[in-house]
Structure 1
């Protein structure tokens, strides 16, 4: 065969192969595994264990995951790397309250998780009046609701981080009792289709050094939480089949806007558990419209009030402070003007003083600096008598 013939044969073979490659159907990327972090303020604000866990999963090869939930922290953790902002953490909420008020099903319907990471129970400890069996019954109801939404959901339940006696005298022992009961409870409820894995977040965590207030983690505490979550999460990720409707966000940043309840700092719970059985259901929308105030350097501070729950003679409120400018801020002050004689008795994530009808809240040491677009929140307990109108709220940057 001549050289020219060989060249023609080779070229023809190449064209046939190329035609075959072009004609092959495109293979779509596998659906992302939808992971929902579920919890209270330890998950919500700032909840930076989520950022640290996301980063470790990504750098360890678990890249096809999507954190989901109806709340976004807006990047408030600011760890220096990208992470997925979405979660289902709600400051001040208890496991018994979420179960009693059937708050989980709509969250599940919106998020459609394949995996749920649950750190709940801290807000059930305050006051020491909820028995361990009642807390576990709430856990059982929540698991049933998860499985009703997705029969193959995989659940990672945390043995929760400790609480210090300085924050709550009865809480340390109650946390130990709950954590001791969780493995047996999980073993009795796990199934092959929907396994429950226990993540031990209690061991090695020091409430004195790993939190800022005896309850909410500092950066070292969040790192310990992420390290403890990691092996349990990777265990359930192995072999999990994403739900057909699941699809990953285009980028680590969420497509939804920052929820008013998103927080860039932790939200300490009151000495009672108002979200368990309030006389009115917790409000999911702000009770007043946001108000903005120009501050030094042209920065705009926006404050938004939300009634979390209300019961006889008292209520729990929350204020979100947001930096609505293009420049970072270093400190903030919020002012609440009450019109119904309300008196603030307890607050967390801010130092609150009250003179007459006006309560002034100043940031804590850890949540004063807000990046552009960033937010944080503080909560409080106050008394009320015959009426409880929403306060007028403003804020300003130093």
Structure 2
């Protein structure tokens, strides 16, 4: 996938002012340093005393190569990205473990009970989920996708009752051969906030992260679906405030227990 270099400032101009935040480790190669902090700008991230374990859960947008994760890691000291998938090349060394499985549908991940084994292998404190793109492509109903999300949330909380969960309103889509995908994405994203509010608890909050608005499939992807370099930067900027808030709380890890029985499917 070809990637064009684009300054972070240019990408941030397309985002609401509240999301134009300063990202915190040293800049990645090729990424200019952020401007000096202004009044109201969050201070640089402070490393937590205990590394917070973060699982990035998704499909190829997350894992192939998912260089937005590398940009986040460079700016969040003390975060330990976890997953059963290894890092892909992003031009610089980073903690690239993840749970991004190319081609996977949320409905299939839930139905096949894949997530519990991934959770038991990695024990995350935070899950950040961008799933649903392949469901939309396969024309799965919104209700079925949200039912799958509900199953995944229950599995996360079975692993850790105090799991902090970030759920993306997914990137827009305009691929060749799927003229209805854009409309289907909009319908799913419109339903996500109400779904999240119905399941969020004080002990295990669900934060909705808007990855949809301000993302341009014409300039931020090579194919109408997968992010290029400019798209990766926009994705990182959108995740950052919610992820920073989630990792700023010390992890509350339950006693680790094995999940009884083999997974179905």
1:186 matched residue in structure 2: 196
- For residues 136 and 222 of structure 1, the distance between their equivalents in structure 2, rounded to whole angstroms, comes to 25
Ranges of 4+ aligned residues in structure 1 off by more than 4 Å: none
Contact kept, 8 Å, 2:175 with 2:225, in 1: the verdict is no
1:93 matched residue in structure 2: 104
Contact kept, 8 Å, 1:31 with 1:242, in 2: the verdict is no
Q: Does 1:220 align with 2:234?
A: no
2:118 matched residue in structure 1: 107
For residues 320-331 of structure 1, what are the structure 2 equivalents within 5 Å? Answer: none
- For residues 151 and 190 of structure 1, the distance between their equivalents in structure 2, rounded to whole angstroms, comes to 12
Q: Does 1:138 align with 2:152?
A: no
Q: Does 1:69 align with 2:80?
A: no
Q: Which has the larger radius of gyration?
A: 1
For residues 4-83 of structure 1, what are the structure 2 equivalents within 5 Å? Answer: 30-57=49-76, 63-74=77-88, 76-78=89-91, 80=92, 82-83=93-94
Paired residues, number: 210
Distance 1:139 1:223, change over 3 A: same
1:160 matched residue in structure 2: 170
Q: Does 1:177 align with 2:187?
A: yes
- Cα shift readout 1:62-118 (whole Å, capped 9, x = no counterpart): x221000000124x111x4x3211001100101001001111100000010000000
1:324 matched residue in structure 2: none
Distance 1:240 1:175, change over 3 A: farther
Which protein is richer in helix relative to its size? 2
Contact kept, 8 Å, 1:167 with 1:214, in 2: the verdict is no
For residues 247-326 of structure 1, what are the structure 2 equivalents within 5 Å? Answer: none
Contact kept, 8 Å, 1:34 with 1:242, in 2: the verdict is no
- For residues 245 and 230 of structure 1, the distance between their equivalents in structure 2, rounded to whole angstroms, comes to 29
Q: Which runs of 5+ in 1 are unaligned?
A: 1-28, 58-62, 247-280, 282-398
Scaled by the length of structure 1, the TM-score of the pair is 0.51
Distance 1:77 1:219, change over 3 A: same
Q: Which runs of 5+ in 2 are unaligned?
A: 1-47, 257-264
- For residues 54 and 79 of structure 2, the distance between their equivalents in structure 1, rounded to whole angstroms, comes to 7
Structure with the larger RCO, 1 or 2 (CA within 8 Å, 6+ apart): 2
Which protein is richer in strand relative to its size? 1
- For residues 255 and 75 of structure 2, the distance between their equivalents in structure 1, rounded to whole angstroms, comes to 26
3-state SS of 1:72 partner = coil
